[in-house]
Amino acid sequence: MQCPCCSVELNEKMLNDVQVDECHTCKGMWLEDDELRKAKDAADKDLNWMDFEIFKHADQFKTEPRKLPCPKCRKTLVAINYGDTGVQINYCPDCKGTWLDKDEFKEIIAALNDELISKTFHEYIKTSIEEAAEIFTGTEGCFSEWKDLTTVLRMMNYRIFAENPNLRDQLIAMQQASPFQ
């Protein structure tokens, strides 16, 4: 495969336990089909539930054709925004691969981490309900969706104590005063 920007041969590289193709010149990366999600999940286990399913909500996506050929099928890539991260990725609607320019993967991870810590307790409640439903309706399989739910519940636990610092102290005091210790 050739780099869509530099037209040089792409080299295989491991990105968080996922084999991707990288351009040694511009440091862009080609990730086939589901490799971007897998690399994101491997980069930070707390982000495993923050799935970006391209075109799941087609009304949220505005694509614009790029003058870049897909490294795999040579069709024209389209530019789309990766959720609310502010990162614009190049995506192939035909073979479902993604081209990331240098450092865009790091930018996606940083933006998702920012979103993770800025969610409110109420947003985590809503998300936990959605994740619970995905155990039965999700595309990743029951075990993977269960892991997503447990991660959201753990993050919700952290958030409640972050928003209510006195609550932790009160719970510790109650536990210490318990006659059942």
State yes or no: pLDDT of 53 exceeds 70. no
* Mean pLDDT score across all residues of the chain: 87
pLDDT per position as a tens digit, 83-118: 778 888 899 988 999 999 999 999 999 998 998 888
**111 is written with which tokens?**
């933006």
Q: Which residue has the higher pLDDT, 137 or 10?
A: 10
Beta strands (DSSP E) in 16-155 are: 18-22, 29-31, 64-69, 76-81, 88-91, 98-100
What backbone phi and psi angles, to 5 degrees, belong to 63? -105, 150
* pLDDT for position 181: 62
* pLDDT for position 7: 93
**128 is written with which tokens?**
């936990």
Average pLDDT over residues 31-40: 91
Query: Which of the residue ranges 27-41, 68-82, 93-107, 158-172 would you say has the lowest mean pLDDT?
Result: 158-172
Edge to edge, the sheet with strand 88-91 lists: 11-15, 18-22, 29-31, 98-100, 88-91, 76-81, 64-69
- Could you give the percent of the chain with pLDDT greater than 90? 47
Global pTM reads 0.79
* pLDDT for position 26: 97
**140 is written with which tokens?**
């990743």
Residue 104 exposed, middle or buried by CB count within 10 Å (0-12, 13-18, 19+): buried
State yes or no: pLDDT of 56 exceeds 60. no
* pLDDT for position 169: 82
State yes or no: pLDDT of 66 exceeds 90. no
Residue found under tokens 């795999």: 72
- Could you give the percent of the chain with pLDDT greater than 70? 94
